[in-house]
Structure 1
Amino acid sequence: MQALGLGKINRSVTVEKTPQIAGMINKIHNLVEVKDI
C-alpha cells in the first residue's frame, strides 16, 4: 500500500493507470476504493 502512496486511513492519491499500478490495486482491491477521473 505504501508503494501506491497510501499509508493512513482516508488518504487519497491520484496515480496514472499502468499495468504495474493495476496489479498492485488488484492485490488490495478489498481495502481501497478506485475511481477513474
Structure 2
Amino acid sequence: FDPTAVRPHTWDFTVKNLDDHEITGSVHTALVIAVKE
C-alpha cells in the first residue's frame, strides 16, 4: 500500500515542513487515515 498515491498533498506538505523523524510519523498517520476512509 502506498499512502503517497492516495494523499499526495499530505505527503508533499510533510516532506517540505518536517524533519525525517516527523515525516515517518506523518506517513504512518496518513496510512491509517486512508485505511479508515
| Same fold? TM cut 0.5 | no
Of structures 1 and 2, the one scoring higher in RCO (CA 8 A, sep 6+) is 2
TM-score, normalised via structure 1 length:
0.32
TM-score, normalised via structure 2 length:
0.32
More helix by share: 2
